[in-house]
Structure 1
Amino acid sequence: MHISFNDYVKYLTQQITSYLDTPAGEKREQRVKNKVKPPVYSNRWFGVLPFAFKVARKKTN
């Protein structure tokens, strides 16, 4: 797959103009929605083992 420079510039221009056209309220809502949720405390305290046990338990059920 080969993308030309003109196609890339066209795509980039479309993305920038769509961002600039969106109202500030929608941008704010999008930022809040895209924030990363904090990790689960069991994984944070004990590493990946609780997650591995949970996945293994789901596979057996």
Structure 2
Amino acid sequence: MSSQDFLKYLVQEMVKYMETPKAERKEARLSRKQVRPGWKQHWFGMIPFSLHMYAKRQKNRSLRSEPGESPR
């Protein structure tokens, strides 16, 4: 990409931003914030969620089993 192409793109984006009404820009920004994933998922993916599910399942299994019965 040459510097002319980049400059052209930059000017187009700036003009598009300037032509959009302020209320519409604010609404778009708020909608992007709502869709954003949590910080744990952003930084670590699905690993914390899967570990949480696994621990919860193990806890439920231990609560369901009888005191004299060994868990599966």
1:21 aligned to 11, 19, 22, which one? 19
Q: Distance in 2 between matches of 1:4 and 1:38?
A: 37
Q: 2: CA distance between counterparts of 1:37 and 1:17?
A: 30
Aligned counterparts of 1:5 and 1:38: Cα–Cα separation in 2 = 37
Give distance in 2, aligned partners of 1:50 and 1:11. 45
* Stretch moving more, 13-22 or 29-38: 29-38
The gaps in structure 1 that reach 5 residues or longer are 41-46, 54-61
Normalised TM-score (structure 2): 0.50
Residues 16-39 of structure 1 deviation map (CA, whole Å, 9 limit, x = unaligned): 000000001100101101113546
Structure having the higher Rg: 2
Assess, with a 3 A threshold, how the Cα gap between structure 1 residues 39 and 4 changes in structure 2: closer, same or farther. Answer: closer
Partner of 2:4: 6
- Deviant stretches of 4+, over 3 Å: 36-40
Q: Which residue of structure 2 lines up, in the alignment, with residue 59 of structure 1?
A: none
Q: Which residue number in structure 1 is paired with residue 67 of structure 2?
A: none
**Root mean square deviation of aligned Cα:** 2.4
